[in-house]
Amino acid sequence: MTTLFTQSTEPCPMVDFVNLVSGKWAIPILYRLIVVDDAIRFGALQRAVAPITQKELTKQLRAFESIGLVTRAMYPEMPPRVEYQVTELGKTLKPTLDSLAQWMREHREELSAPL
């Protein structure tokens, strides 16, 4: 008889995923970049995921950039223009995030805590 739960030395992939997208704003930022699927200016992204602070958005975008989910392009204009875009690797998260969004739409009213 086989058991459903086996001992494994492999770390839990969900722990790694949660660490990757941890933080209140991580998933909304990433999802917005995926849905837009084009370069987006910092200010437009900040308005799209409001009420995020400039500091928090900068921090999260830098984290995504450092792991290869987002690219940053800076243009030497006055005022300086900075645009962000999801990478091909980041786009692979679309089905997963679409699924989470759909689950939320379907079950929002069933959840105990007000959202």
| DSSP string computed for 47-96 | HHTTT--HHHHHHHHHHHHHHTSEEEEEE--SS-EEEEEE-HHHHTTHHH
Mean pLDDT of 44-48: 96
Look up residue 100 and give its amino acid: L
Do the strands 81-86 and 70-75 form a parallel or antiparallel pair, or are they unpaired? antiparallel
- Residue boundaries of the structural domains of the chain: 14-108
pLDDT at position 5 over 60: no
Predicted pLDDT at 20? 83
What value, to the nearest 5°, has the Cα angle with vertex 58 and ends 92 and 79? 110
pLDDT at position 44 over 70: yes
Top CATH class of 14-108 equals: mainly alpha
pTM: 0.81
Mean pLDDT of 40-63: 96
Q: From CA 45, how far away is CA 58, in angstroms rounded? A: 11
pLDDT in tens, 67-108: 999 999 999 999 889 999 999 999 999 999 999 999 999 998
